Chains A and B, each alone.
Chain A
């Protein structure tokens, strides 16, 4: 199975900060990576697919980059609505696997 490792597991930041979350795959997954956002008590929501393609309706302050084994999700200027947990997910091979999540907290 492809292991997905996210860092950090928790991130404390302020509104307006630039935030970067890293996701590493245990083997190359090309660009077959998605990022999902989950708020407490809610279902996850797709933000980015194919490593860098922004899902329709997602604010442009979110961006994704990377290929192969190393990927990043960047929020250019953190907004109050962005405090949530973020998961990366590979879909290069079965079983589909997720990173452990990064909780973005208010500093």
Chain B
């Protein structure tokens, strides 16, 4: 059974940093692209970014609103993907979901999410 478990959310002040983790199990982690998606309270879904697999050189993609502030990385030996968030703004407040993507690009499995609140 595929499981994705996020951790690391919490309250952070504007301008601060936070690192989210996602522990994966139930599949061959190194074969798959991993994405982060967020959902502001009461709002819709926003894709944050993608980390491709080793076969695709671990290259990344980001939505414009986080480019230069957020970094997605992974550790295949730990079956984990990370979202480093710097220079956080109030509008980054959201539940952050870790997802496993299909090779064609759609979001296949979702974790339960972790809440990030940016507030003073």
A residues apposed to B, CB below 8 Å: 1, 32, 34, 36, 42-46, 49-50, 87, 89, 91, 94-101
Q: Hey, which chain B residues are within 8 Å of A42, CB to CB?
A: 112
Are B44 and A101 interface neighbours, CB within 8 A?
Answer: yes
Whole-angstrom distance from the CB of B41 to the nearest CB of chain A?
Answer: 12
> Closest 6 CB pairs between A and B?
A91-B105, A96-B47, A43-B110, A34-B106, A95-B63, A98-B45
> Is the beta-carbon distance between A32 and B110 smaller than 8 angstroms?
no
A-B contact count (CB 8 A): 61
Choose from A1, A89, A97 the contact partner of B106 (Cβ within 8 Å).
Answer: A89
* Bound form: Cα–Cα A32–B112 in Å: 25
Find B108's partner among A46, A94, A95, A98 (CB 8 Å cutoff): A46
Asked whether, in the complex, the Cβ of A95 is within 8 Å of the Cβ of B47, the reply is: yes
Of the candidates A43, A100, A101, which one forms a contact with B113 in the assembled complex, judged by CB atoms under 8 Å apart? Answer: A43
CB of B20, distance to nearest CB on chain A (Å): 15
Question: B57 contacts the other chain (Cβ, under 8 Å)?
Answer: no
Q: Is B14 an interface residue (CB 8 A)?
A: no
Residues of A within 8 A of B110 (CB): 43-46
CB–CB A43/B107 < 8 A: no
Sample 21 A-B pairs with CB under 8 A, ordered by A number.
A1-B64, A32-B104, A32-B106, A36-B45, A43-B112, A46-B107, A46-B109, A49-B102, A49-B108, A50-B104, A50-B106, A87-B44, A89-B45, A94-B50, A94-B61, A96-B35, A96-B50, A96-B105, A97-B47, A98-B44, A98-B45
